[in-house]
Chains A and B, each alone.
Chain A
């Protein structure tokens, strides 16, 4: 009974995902499959177009399909989508004034952290070498005293 239930689930799941986009050119099919993973679904924002069943995601997939069939380049398709839905739906946003923090921010934080780490390491080293000097001095002194 449970097995049957599982079988039912699998079958319905397959049926739901049965969106067929037939291409005569295998290269175009590959491009399609890459592109639909590269755009975010505007409705359900935590998934890409490929993984979304929202009506708008289906529409956009169909639109991408048509554009590829018309021979549009990846860049043209990206432009088509971002002109309508904004940079938000691109998983690789372009570099401009609003997205600069995305691109520069991590490097900025890295530089801040590296400078702190080097500051600490530098300080420790200096401290350690001072201690060494003291130690050497005292040994010399001790030896001098022994003589």
Chain B
């Protein structure tokens, strides 16, 4: 009994050190989205392709669909781009773009040069819709399920591994 009482603080301390030590390497910069299982926020913006066409939440149709936050100033978006093209070419899922704090001309030129994986892009010059979505950098990708609720939010480039782990289960 005495022995247990005397070693308990040391064991407790040991666990604490181990816990803190392993937490050091825990570099999780993926914020959990507050919007999981919530409705996509309302918005009223123009499309990238047509400055006169005003769209809203109800224009994101044929669910499930992806909403991909991208910009021409975003390097990781360029890395991710071939994967999005691949999704489109294999008709895996509908993809809508959310062009984030960008210039319309530059964005259109980029899509023309690199290919356009999006049905259309929402043009969010000020980042208002992005702020409602809790976006804090590009690229970010949201999956809207068949029921219209947001199922997944991924921060950073989409890759086959990420797709398999986080997205694919919602498409079966």
- Chain A residues in the interface with B (C-beta under 8 A): 42-43, 45, 54-56, 59-60, 63, 82-86, 88, 112-113, 116, 119
Fill in one digit per residue for B117-136: 1 if any A CB lies within 8 Å of its CB, else 0: 00000000001000111111
Q: How far is the CA of A113 from the CA of B9 in the complex (A)?
A: 8
One of B29-37, B48-56, B80-88, B156-164 contacting the partner: B29-37
- In the docked arrangement, what's the CA distance between A83 and B8, Å? 43
Majority secondary structure of chain A interface residues (helix, strand, loop or mixed):
helix
A52 CB to closest chain B CB (Å) equals 11
On chain A, the residues within 8 Å of B171 by CB distance are none
* Main SS at interface, chain B: loop
Q: How far apart are B25's CB and chain A's nearest CB, in angstroms?
A: 16
B78 within 8 A of A: no
**CB-contacts of B87-116 with A (<8 A):** 101
Which residue of B is nearest A59, CB measured? B127
In the complex, what residues of A have CB within 8 A of residue B127's CB?
A: 59
Instruction: Contacts A45-B29, A59-B131, A119-B5 given; indicate if A82 touches B12 (C-beta within 8 A).
Output: no
A86-B101 in contact (CB<8A): no
Can you give 22 contacting A-B residue pairs, CB < 8 Å?
A42-B31, A42-B134, A43-B136, A54-B136, A56-B135, A56-B136, A56-B137, A59-B127, A59-B131, A82-B34, A83-B34, A84-B34, A84-B131, A84-B133, A84-B134, A85-B31, A85-B136, A86-B33, A86-B34, A88-B31, A88-B32, A113-B9
Total B residues in contact with A, Cβ cutoff 8 Å: 18
Chain B nearest CB: distance from A104 CB in Å?
A: 16
Looking at the assembled complex, report how far the CB atom of A32 sits from the nearest CB atom of chain B, in whole angstroms.
18
A86 lies within 8 A of B9 (CB): no
**When chains A and B are docked, how far (Å) is the Cα of A83 from the Cα of B29?**
19
Most buried by B among A43, A59, A113: A59
Query: Taking CB as reference atom, which chain A residue is nearest B38?
Result: A83
| Whole-angstrom CA separation of A112 from B13 in the bound complex | 12
- Which residue of chain B lies nearest to A82 when distances are taken between CB atoms in the complex? B34
* Complex CA–CA separation, A45 to B28 (angstroms): 10
Residues of B near A45 (CB, < 8 A) are: 29
Nearest-Cβ distance from residue A44 to partner chain B, whole angstroms: 9
Residue on A nearest B101 in the bound complex, by CB? A55
Inter-chain CA distance A59–B127, complex, in Å, is: 8
